[in-house]
Every structure is written in structure tokens, then in C-alpha cells.
Homo-oligomer: A and B are copies of this chain.
């Protein structure tokens, strides 16, 4: 069945994404199948990895959402980035690597060990591209927090998530499941949940989006992107 997913009979988000990054060869597919056999679940709110602790082994996120998060001594919380199926967790090239941030499960998730990849192989290239995109998302987050207003921050983040979920086949046209509360959104966007609520209402009134608990639909992603000057992350000339 898992092999079947690789052949495309069933969509497996994580694999869809990796294959979208670069065309994988037979050894890569074999390695992925092997790793999938060691998949294991992690419950919502549990840490996937913990800041400052040594990284046991790099992981591949198979299903569910996770987030990198930082907690301040006084209780303030900042989500640094969101991790979606197909994203890598803790892939470092140096020995005795420490996790630079905690990763917490935002929903029930499943992960598996990251299949090892030799330098120069297609799988390695996929990982490298994935890492570059991750970096792009961090830069986008910095720009959002530093120079966008509340309305723009929300739209920009939702557009990014929509693009990423489209890449792994998890978004249906303009809508997608979003296992986040307005409060977590606020802690990602440097706002309060009260203000996120008001800005979401405004966006709905203006017809930009629809919001149900756990689900969002963007009326016109391309138009919204134009409206706020959002550009998707690009890391490879292909």
C-alpha cells in the first residue's frame, strides 16, 4: 500500500512534496519506503524536538502540522514557522548538533526518520531545496513581522500556507484545513488574538476569505497576492 502511494495511486502529501522539488530516482524511492515503515505518531501539543537538546535523528513530517516555537521567560510565545507534511525537521550537517528551536505538534502528526541521502543524489538535492525554502519562509516571516500591518500579515501568511499545501497536494483549490486557532495565529503574527479576530472579520467582510474553525478558503489567492504584494518563495532556477 505504501509502495502504491509512491506509484501515485494514493496521494501521500510528504512524498508528493519531495517529488515536486526534484525528480527522485529508484534508490530514493526505496529509501523513502524504508523510512515510511518506521513512521510513528506524535500527539498534538507534544514536543517533536526540544530547543537546546541534541538532535537524536533528523525527521520527515508525514502528516499533520507542527510548528517551531520559542517561549520567553515571562510567558510570551512566538511561533517561528509552521511545518507541513513533507517538511524536514532537524537536518544538520555537523556533529553534536543542538536543536535551535523547539518543534511542537499543532495537531496529531506522524513522522519518520529522514532517509539518509548521499551528497549529489536526487534525494539530497530535494533536502537541500527543502532547506532553502525553509529559509525563505523564515525571511518571509521576518518581513511580515517587521514591515506588514496586521491585515497584510494575516493575508500573507495564509497565502504562504496555501502555496505550500498546494505543493504537497493537501489544499483543495482555494481552501485548506488549518488546525490553528486565532490565538496561535496571533502568536505567529506578533498580534493579539483579539486583533486577529477583528482583522479576520474585516477580511471576511471585504470578501477576501472565509473562516470556519479548522478551515480557510481564500476567495481569490492570486488577486489577494497582488493586492498585498505577496511573492512566493523561489529557491531554484530548476
**A residues with CB within 8 A of B:** 22, 52, 54, 68, 70, 72-74, 76-78, 80-81, 92-98, 100-101, 119, 124-125, 127-129, 131-132, 135-136, 138-139, 141-143, 145-147, 187-190, 229, 233-238
Contacts and interface: CB of A to CB of B under 8 A. Distances in A.
Given A78-B143, A101-B139, 6 more contacts: A22-B94, A78-B146, A81-B142, A98-B235, A141-B142, A146-B190
A150 B188 CA distance: 18
Contact of A94 (B80, B97, B132, B189): B132
Given A54-B237, A100-B233, A237-B54, A119 B93 contact: yes
Q: Return the 5 tightest CB-CB contacts between A and B, nearest first.
A: A146-B190, A93-B128, A145-B145, A94-B128, A96-B237
A196 B193 CA distance: 27
A135 to B, nearest CB: 6
Nearest to A191: B146
A94 B236 contact: yes
